[in-house]
Amino acid sequence: MSDLISNLEKLGDEFGTVIAPLADEQAIRAAQAQFLGKKGKVSELMKELGKLPPAERPLVGAAANKVKATIEELTAARLNELAQIVARADLARSVDVTLPARPVGGGHLHLLSQVRLEAVQIFAELGFVMAEGPQIDTDWNNFEALALPKEHPARDMQDTFYISPEIVLRTHTSPVQVRTMLTQEPPIRIIAPGHVYRRDDDPTHSPMFTQLEGLAVDTDISFSDLKGTLLHFVKRFFQRDLAIRLRPSYFPFVEPGAEVDMQCSFCGGSGCRLCKFTGWIEIGGAGMVDPDVFANCRIDSERYTGFAFGMGLERMAMLRHNVTDIKFYYEGDLRFLEQF
Ligand code: DAH
């Protein structure tokens, strides 16, 4: 019996030696389990208890309880010691509050946002008010009302993503014209920037891109107003005296319709690779609002005339900032973004 008791008592000392070098709570708890756990050293010794005469058992039991208490106390004391070491180290840390802060890089607007705001601003100076429409629109607003009925061949150039047969991701910002004319009385002057979607994907085309749509409707709007407006915009946007030209073209929603070219901003018109040695670069479409579109939008085409235009904003920014791939706008690569 006395052997057993002295062995139990030794466990207290042994535990103290084991945990003395341990410096983290997990290791200390693991060591504690090796002594007090179900298969721990204390339990192992207690298996001997059954071999003793009943009269001696209470004494051994008391010794076991004592060693258990000792181990628990040692554990708590060591953990407390460690906590104090950590707290002391924390307090000893010195912070130099006069140290200058590490610089945090300032963000800025994306090139396309800058260009969009600037373009809208230029038109605002001419009396155009910004308008917006949803990127998911009805087939009617995007096509039908703009004289592009279901089987019209011009729809081929604007294949899009269909949400349902009657709901599409808009292929151009022209439906904003329809939405505006249906809800506002002339005189109308709007400039509508926004994302548009098409089934297109190559270095100069992206399935999502940004257009800038303009519409002016009044009692005496003429083709020369259109030309003057576009010329003013190109000069202001490129800050150079660049010419524009309007080439006859077909868009179902305007009559006459035109392709808008500007003098090449790289070579100034003498011819280079960018303008394919023509001296001109296409920037959008334009024309006089077709009377059918007026009729669809409940505007009296005997009383009112109007011009409309649509331009690609990525294109404009590419020309002005020498961006060589449309994907650069959307990849989020800081090496590109930080340049502007
Ligand atoms: N919506 C046409 C397109 O995306 C561009 C366009 C052409 C817009 C002529 C117009 C316009 O407003 O009059 O291809």
Q: Radius of gyration over alpha carbons of the chain, in Å?
A: 40
pLDDT, tens only, 25-59: 999 999 999 999 998 898 888 888 888 888 888 88
Predicted confidence (pLDDT) at residue 180 exceeds the cutoff of 90: yes
Q: Tell me: do 139 and 81 sit in the same domain.
A: no
Total of domains in the chain: 2
Residue finishing a domain among 32, 57, 92? 92
Compute the average pLDDT of residues 15-20: 92
pLDDT above 80: residue 204:
no
What integer pLDDT is reported at residue 241 of this predicted model? 95
Pocket test of ligand 1: the residue of 208, 253, 283 to mutate, having most ligand atoms within 8 Å of its CB, is 253
Distance CA 326, CA 202 (A): 8
Q: Which residues are CB-neighbours of 163 under 8 A, at least 6 positions away?
A: 136, 169
Specify the higher pLDDT residue, 232 or 201.
232
Total residue length of the chain? 340
Name the residue of 148, 152, 174 to mutate for ligand 1: max ligand atoms within 8 A of Cβ. 174
* Domain termination residue (choose one: 92, 125, 153): 92
**pTM for the complete prediction?**
0.71
b/e per residue, 300-335, with b = 16+ CB within 10 A? Answer: ebeebbbbbbbbbbbbbbbbbeebeebebbeeeeee
Instruction: Report which ligand 1 atom has the smallest distance to the Cα of 287.
Output: 13
CB 161, CB 197: distance < 8 Å: yes
Domain that holds residue 38: 2-92
Q: What is the pLDDT of residues 100-121, one digit of tens each?
A: 988 888 899 999 999 999 999 9
Residues 115, 47 share a domain: no
Report pLDDT for 104: 86
Q: How far apart are CA 141 and CA 198, in angstroms?
A: 16
Q: Output the CA–CA distances (angstroms, integers) from residue 255 to 184, 195, 306, in the order listed.
A: 22, 25, 10
pLDDT in tens, 245-301: 999 999 999 999 999 999 998 888 899 988 899 999 999 999 999 999 999 999 999
